[in-house]
Structure 1
Amino acid sequence: MKPETKYITISDNKNRIEQLLMELVLEPRIKALVWSQITRQTPNMKIGYPGQHLASLITGVEGSRTGARGDDLVDGTEVKSCSRVDQLDSCKDCKQKVLRIETACPHCGSTNLKRMDDSKWLFSVKSEEELKLLTKDLDRVFLTIADYPNFADGDFDTIRFQAFEMWNNTERHKHFTSLMTNYYNKIFLEHISRNVNKTPAPKNFWPYSYQFYLCNPVKVFECIVSNANTTPQINITHFVEPDFDRSLLVPELMPTSLLSQEEINLIIENVPEYILSSQIVAGSNYQALVKSSKTKKKFITLLPFINETTRGYLDLRDTDKVAEAKTKYSRR
């Protein structure tokens, strides 16, 4: 999980990241917001190619000059991006579409709006060769996401950019390989066998989902943009140097609110007391946690997050379905 330094050729990374985000993403978005007030078209920023630029600056690795085909970075890294910023919303009353910049439905005047926050990463695996490339031949999968850290509070003026890595040839990230393999064998091939004229949807990989955390992604970048709709101010809150050994990073904590009652029972029955005790909130203890395990709400109050070691006792789920169920958990 240590990047090869021979591929790291871009320097002054943090300064360049700020400049890139401002010039390639934030300033064009502000102009789009102004025009959106006139045209009522979505100002949604497409994050695909900007995400690849961002990946190069975070990793220090140049692109491979192949556009949509071939390796995304010269070291073979696969880059995927998604944006939950400026998604198209809808009215809960009349069901018509509503722009993110609108505070009331333009069709019926209702303020009962459904704000969308469901963009995800898409992985297309259409052949044994593509599966092998994604799960064996390349070492690193690089994920970028733009979202609202205060989405639950209706704050759409603060934007967050994050980047995560998974090194799929390592034991730590083995579940990613399992997800892609199961998708290809159980969904893609099964679908094709029933309908050869229709290609199934790509694999949906949901940010902040059960499957996401079980894959043990490590965060290598985060920045918060305040006043994003008027005068953006960028604050880089987390940056891992391009040559840093990723095996030394601690994967993201999994919220226990994502667990089923069955998975909570599995943890209580199988995870050693000393492992759980170190994660219980201050002022409580292991005995109280065991007692609370029959009531999910009480359990997650005492154990709101679990670490990499604890979730090592959990299994993948829903790997033979087209998409995992979306979570209502709001990551702050």
Structure 2
Amino acid sequence: MRTFYTASIINLSSVLFTLDMENSQRLETSDNLIKECILDLYINPKKSMVKWSKITNQTAQGKFAYPSQHLASLITGIKGKGSAARGDDLADGSEIKSCSRADQLRSCNNCGANVLLWQKECPNCGSTDIKVDTSSHWIFPIRSDDELDLLLNRVPRIIFILFDKEDSESENIRIRAWTVNPQESYVKAFFTDYYVNNFKMKTDKGEKPAPCNLHPLKYDFFMMRPKLIFHADIIENDVEIEFWDLKHPKEQPMFSHLLSKEQLIQIFGKKVSVLKKTQIVEKFPYIPQKDFDKLVMKKKVLKKYKQKYVRR
């Protein structure tokens, strides 16, 4: 009985310690705190950058990786660990990745000159035909077996944050956050493919590989089955939270234009085979996640392990 009693006390102490640890990781959050954070760390710094860019003619772009970590803590209600990108981004071990397509580089389609964020026309030739770069992406440096194992087996979730615009002409900015489960088969396949067939192959040859890039709102991203947990719009100096729900996140359908016609036929059946791809896309603009099982991996993904992950 004494052994049982002692073991029970130890077990209870362990449970209470775990609860204390979990409580210490949490923070009180609210719509107003999130809005204040976006105002202080994004809207006001951006206004200051534009102000000084007009004086100095230097870039008005800012770096928002660390502000995104503050925002992720407020969205999730989980504190950070003060790691400054050198450890866990959140106290629960979550990984945060952010990128911005709202303040990208711009250039003149007529003469090729750089066009600053606040400029409405090319400073060189006066053309209003401006090209906006939207190639910003999430970056994953995976340089060892341990780093790959950490991402796929020890990180509880990946949180993706994206700043963008509905169209390049809009002044309004969207902020969206998704969660992805690293245990999803496509997640494992995608990052293992990079590490095995890119990083290791190049380092074995003495080459220096680039980090793994994941492009927002593209095929690979949607195949990871992201779930939307947050959406806010910045309209002038105001922040409107359109959606924020951790318990009931929204599944994200894939844009059907990202698929080949053959894949669309595989999803929607032979009845659409007589249509052009553009007609199929117009009729079925989205692919629901329930149909992702019908899709196969893209050829570049995990050649060595292709048979294992050929279907989800």
Matching residue of 2:18: none
Alignment of 1:54-69 (within 5 A): 54-69=71-86
What is the deviation of 1:266? 2.2
The reply on whether 1:187 has 2:198 as its aligned counterpart is yes
What is the deviation of 1:257? 0.9
Matching residue of 1:221: 230
Identify if the C-alpha distance between structure 1 residues 139 and 293 changes in structure 2 by more than 3 Å, giving closer, same or farther.
farther
Alignment of 1:30-45 (within 5 A): 30-45=47-62
Matching residue of 2:276: 295
Matching residue of 2:249: 249
Structure 1 unaligned segments of length 5 or more: list them.
Answer: 270-288, 322-332
Larger mean Cα displacement after TM superposition, 24-33 or 94-103:
94-103
Matching residue of 2:180: 166
Matching residue of 1:314: 295
Helix, strand or coil at the partner of 1:312: helix
Matching residue of 1:305: 286
Matching residue of 2:155: 138
Deviations 1:236-285, CA, capped at 9 Å, x for gaps: 000014xx2xxx5342111111111221132245xxxxxxxxxxxxxxxx
Higher relative contact order (CA 8 A, sep 6+): 1
Quick one: which amino acid aligns to residue 111 of structure 2?
A: C
The reply on whether 1:120 has 2:137 as its aligned counterpart is yes
Deviations 1:173-220, CA, capped at 9 Å, x for gaps: 3211210011000111111122x2x42111110111011111110011
Matching residue of 1:208: 217
**Cα distance between partner residues in 2 of 1:262 and 1:291:** 10
**Cα distance between partner residues in 2 of 1:316 and 1:20:** 39
What is the deviation of 1:91? 1.4
**Cα distance between partner residues in 2 of 1:165 and 1:297:** 31
What is the deviation of 1:108? 2.2
TM-score w.r.t. structure 1 length?
Answer: 0.80
RMSD (Å) for aligned C-alpha atoms: 1.9
User: Does the 8 A contact of 1:175 with 1:215 survive in 2?
Assistant: yes
**Cα distance between partner residues in 2 of 1:293 and 1:23:** 54
Structure 2 unaligned segments of length 5 or more: list them.
Answer: 1-20, 303-312
User: Does the 8 A contact of 2:232 with 2:240 survive in 1?
Assistant: yes
**Cα distance between partner residues in 2 of 1:267 and 1:8:** 43
Quick one: which amino acid aligns to residue 177 of structure 2?
A: A
The reply on whether 1:176 has 2:187 as its aligned counterpart is yes
User: Does the 8 A contact of 2:81 with 2:90 survive in 1?
Assistant: yes
What is the deviation of 1:24? 1.1
Quick one: which amino acid aligns to residue 175 of structure 1?
A: Y
Deviations 1:51-102, CA, capped at 9 Å, x for gaps: 1111111111111122121111111000111011221111122222111211
User: Does the 8 A contact of 1:264 with 1:293 survive in 2?
Assistant: no
**Cα distance between partner residues in 1 of 2:60 and 2:105:** 9
User: Does the 8 A contact of 2:73 with 2:90 survive in 1?
Assistant: yes
4+ residue segments displaced more than 6 Å: none
Quick one: which amino acid aligns to residue 202 of structure 1?
A: P
What is the deviation of 1:8? 5.3
User: Does the 8 A contact of 1:292 with 1:298 survive in 2?
Assistant: no
Which of these residues, 238, 241, 248, is aligned with residue 233 of structure 1?
238
Q: May I ask how many residue pairs the two structures share in their alignment? A: 282
TM-score w.r.t. structure 2 length?
Answer: 0.85
User: Does the 8 A contact of 1:265 with 1:293 survive in 2?
Assistant: no
Deviations 1:132-181, CA, capped at 9 Å, x for gaps: 00011111001111111232xx11x2011111101112xxx321121001
